[in-house]
Amino acid sequence: MMRVFPLLLAAVFTMARASAATPAKPPGKDERLRLAGEVFKIFEAKCADCHGAHLPKPKGKFGYVLDLKRVSENQKYIVGGDPKESELFQMVKNDEMPGEDADVPPLTPEEKKTVEAWVLAGAPHELPAGVSATPAAPETRQEPKVSFLRRVANWLGKFHPVSTHFPVALLLTAVLAEAIAWWLRREEWMLLVRFLTVLGALSSVPTTVLGWLSNFPTVSGSELATIYRFHQILGTATSVWALVCATLVCIAECEEGSLARRRFRGSLLLGAFLIGIVGFLGGALNAGGIGHYKF
Ligand code: HEC
């Protein structure tokens, strides 16, 4: 008994010292790794939809939430060791982020504690093995799987925007020429319209094919994904419509006022209208959303 007592005392003393020392002692390397890994997973689940690097237009112009190094170095977001001064933590704590319109729920109290502990630990960015390799950024996840053919298609698809200029300009010039033809009632102008329309319609076919080859990155359900789908369907329909116009203009004899000519003229105007809409949507895709014509 007399031999056990000092041992017991020593054990109690060590435990007490350990527990008293923990809060003051900076977390060890393992703990820092763990915190960084946890926070990475939280951000991946709850922030990356709107702030991921894969987005062409991230929300709030903040598109690197999974780049913990960059996040922690941005004093505007994180002040290492000081959760009160860390705007990002405050937004998360007060449920401002992820916002009310997010598809994901706010952070649980435990998750908030983890983020706070991470900030207190100086916002370490080194991740434990395996975490950064989880399906984080889509580009790192998909890169190895992209087949050669897909890459060729993606590359060819890059020429879609530039190739649209030909059919668009030709068909819109056809509208102008048709107006002059109507005004002057001259056969030469009607022949010119025929030439422009046929060439415009034919050149719209490769443009449409290039468009289908291209691989525009969108997050399903996002505004861009909707714009993209409309652009794709309407664009294809417009190309088909241009071919209809080309057929009609070939059937229509060059005689002003004939029924066939008027039918063609109406179709061409409708085609021009469709081109306008498709072009507008295409511009929105490039700009990252509707509103690109705001003054
Ligand atoms: C549903 C989309 C969405 C989600 C999910 C989301 N955010 Fe945001 N975030 C926004 C929007 C929109 C803004 C811009 C708000 C503004 O400027 O008024 C923003 C702005 C921010 C900003 C300020 C950017 C700046 O420099 O002005 C930070 C920091 C931020 N978010 C962090 C986060 C974090 C951390 C998460 C995850 C816990 C998150 N957000 C989840 C939509 C989202």
* Residue 101 near ligand 1, beta carbon < 6 Å: yes
pLDDT tens-digit map of 36-76: 999 999 999 899 989 988 888 888 889 999 999 999 999 99
The answer to the question of residue 251 being in a domain is: yes
Claim to verify: residue 172 and residue 120 sit in the same structural domain? no
Claim to verify: residue 229 and residue 185 sit in the same structural domain? yes
Claim to verify: residue 121 and residue 155 sit in the same structural domain? no
Long-range CB pairs of 172-178, under 8 A, 24+ apart, other chains included? 172/272, 172/275, 173/200, 174/200, 174/268, 175/268, 175/269, 175/272, 178/265, 178/268
Claim to verify: residue 176 and residue 86 sit in the same structural domain? no
The rounded mean pLDDT for the chain is: 86
Instruction: Note down the domain range covering 121.
Output: 24-126
Claim to verify: residue 269 and residue 167 sit in the same structural domain? yes
* Residue 92 near ligand 1, beta carbon < 6 Å: yes
Claim to verify: residue 31 and residue 102 sit in the same structural domain? yes
The answer to the question of residue 36 being in a domain is: yes
Q: What is the pLDDT of residue 169?
A: 97
pTM metric for this prediction: 0.48
Tokens at 205, concatenated:
């076919």
The domain boundary, picked from 70, 94, 126, lies at 126
> In this structure, which residue's CA is closest to atom 18 in ligand 1?
60
Claim to verify: residue 276 and residue 157 sit in the same structural domain? yes
Please say whether the beta carbons of 68 and 123 come within 8 A: yes
pLDDT tens-digit map of 220-231: 778 888 999 999
* Residue 40 near ligand 1, beta carbon < 6 Å: no
By C-alpha distance, which of 82, 78, 77, 69 is closest to 36?
A: 69
The domain boundary, picked from 126, 156, 190, lies at 126
Claim to verify: residue 163 and residue 257 sit in the same structural domain? yes
The answer to the question of residue 136 being in a domain is: no
Query: Residue 100, class by beta-carbon neighbours within 10 Å (0-12 exposed, 13-18 middle, 19+ buried)?
Result: exposed
CA distance 285 to 135: 26
> In this structure, which residue's CA is closest to atom 14 in ligand 1?
60
* Residue 78, number of CB atoms within 10 A of its CB: 23
Claim to verify: residue 106 and residue 227 sit in the same structural domain? no
The answer to the question of residue 274 being in a domain is: yes
The answer to the question of residue 141 being in a domain is: no
The answer to the question of residue 15 being in a domain is: no
The answer to the question of residue 218 being in a domain is: yes
Tell me the average pLDDT across 153-168.
93
105 Cβ partners below 8 Å, 6+ apart?
A: 46, 98
The answer to the question of residue 134 being in a domain is: no
Claim to verify: residue 169 and residue 62 sit in the same structural domain? no
Q: Tell me, what DSSP letter sits at residue 82? A: -
pLDDT band at 294 (very low <50, low <70, confident <90, very high): confident
* Residue 100 near ligand 1, beta carbon < 6 Å: no
The domain boundary, picked from 126, 159, 182, lies at 126
CATH number for 229? 1.20.120
Q: How far is the CA of 98 from the centre of ligand 1 (A)?
A: 6
For ligand 1, mutation pick of 41, 44, 50, 219 (most atoms within 8 Å of CB): 50
Claim to verify: residue 177 and residue 229 sit in the same structural domain? yes
Number of domains in the chain: 2
Claim to verify: residue 194 and residue 275 sit in the same structural domain? yes
pLDDT tens-digit map of 223-266: 888 999 999 999 999 999 999 999 999 988 767 778 888 899 99
